[in-house]
Amino acid sequence: MVTNFACLQTTLHNFVLFFTITFLVQFKTHSYLCFIKILKSSVTLFTMETEQKSIRALKCEQSVLSRADGSVMFSQGNTVVMASVYGPLEAKIQKELSDRMYVEVNYKPKTGMPGVAERGKEKLIKTTCNHIILTNLHPRTAVCITIQEMQDGGTLLSASINAVCLALLDSGLPLQCLVAAVTCLVDKKDKIILDPCIRTVKEGYKAMFTFAFDSQKYNLILSHCEGQVPYQLFQEAMELCQKASHIIFDFYRQAVLRKFSKELL
């Protein structure tokens, strides 16, 4: 019985791997986002557990834009965003800060002009960036971060923060630590769902949380909440997201490792 179970597990695991690979191939041929270097994270290990306890597959391609100082195309499940970093640049006179760098964040929606919701996202990303960039090393300069939404599969805010972190890593700006953002929601049955897809979000929820953690001690940097739930549930959701942030930090390390693979020898 035990051997049978183990066998079943391996086949299940193989199936998951196979599924991911076929998905990648389909993605490559069909979609207009032609990923050249596809980085697969260690997420497959976690898909073995129940679906609520894992985050969706992470992929990224670094230095996608030729003229940006740092750029990345990042996807988390079906959510795809592109982030670019320009800087340190010369700051406009009215934006210049005499002791540190000015961080400007632009969030571009898929269609139309950025509205109030986008401005809100910009503000959240800006405060996060101000926390992780060592802004005092480049006084009187500005850094311009642009995020282009490519495909909405839910959790755009956390995907944007993760994409910005990868773009900052690509640009080589001095950082204090890294940041990883995870979204989770509490559905109508009080069940916590980690990294929900767009369908789950549209089904309705009691509350949705986005948390961002730093890479040193996994401390909370940003918390963004919608809805009302008991404090107990909030605490539980935060702990779950904190655990899930480790996957994202591992993914960052793999992405950088891939970038420097030729020089490590």
Partner 1 sequence: MAEKSFSTHVNQIYLPGDSVVLSKTDENSNAKIVLGPGLRKYGKQILVTKPGILRTKSSPPTYWIDCHHRRYVPARGDDVIGVVTNKVGESYKVYIGSSEEASLSSIAFPGATKKNKPNIQIGDLVFAKLLIASADMEPELVCVNSLGENVGLGVLSTNGFLFTVPLHHIRKLLNPECTLLKSLGKALPFEIAVGMNGKIWIKAKSVKQTITLARAISMSEHMNKEEMNQLCKKFIDRQAGF
- The reply on whether position 118 binds partner 1 by CB under 8 A is no
The residue range among 12-20, 22-30, 76-84, 163-171 that interacts with partner 1, by the rule CB under 8 A, is 163-171
Q: How far apart are CA 262 and CA 257, in angstroms?
A: 9
- The reply on whether position 265 binds partner 1 by CB under 8 A is yes
Give me the DSSP letters along 74-95: EEETTEEEEEEEEEEEEPPGGG
Per-residue 3-state assignment (H helix, E strand, C coil) for 7-55: HHHHHHHHHHHHHHHHHHHHHHHHCCCCCCCCCCCCHHHHCCCCHHHCC
- The reply on whether position 69 binds partner 1 by CB under 8 A is yes
Q: Among residues 134 and 225, whose Cβ is nearest to partner 1?
A: 134
- What is the arrangement of strands in the sheet containing 220-227, beginning at the earlier edge strand? 192-194, 179-186, 207-214, 220-227
State the nearest-atom distance from the C-beta of 210 to partner 1, in Å.
21
Pick the binder of partner 1 from 129, 159, 169, 241 (CB under 8 A): 169
Backbone phi and psi for residue 66, each to the nearest 5 degrees, phi listed first: -75, -30
What 8-state DSSP symbol labels residue 56?
Answer: -
The residue range among 11-19, 43-51, 64-72, 104-112 that interacts with partner 1, by the rule CB under 8 A, is 64-72
- Name which of 157, 160, 156 is nearest 147 in CA terms: 160
- The reply on whether position 16 binds partner 1 by CB under 8 A is no
Q: Residue 261: CB partners within 8 Å, gap ≥ 6?
A: none
Pick the binder of partner 1 from 89, 197, 198, 238 (CB under 8 A): 89
The residue range among 13-21, 33-41, 146-154, 257-265 that interacts with partner 1, by the rule CB under 8 A, is 257-265
Pick the binder of partner 1 from 162, 210, 215, 245 (CB under 8 A): 215
The answer to whether the beta carbons of residues 133 and 88 sit under 8 Å apart is: no
- The reply on whether position 49 binds partner 1 by CB under 8 A is no
- The reply on whether position 84 binds partner 1 by CB under 8 A is no
- Sites of contact with partner 1 (CB under 8 A): 68-70, 86-91, 132, 134, 137-142, 169-178, 214-216, 252-253, 256-257, 259-260, 262-265
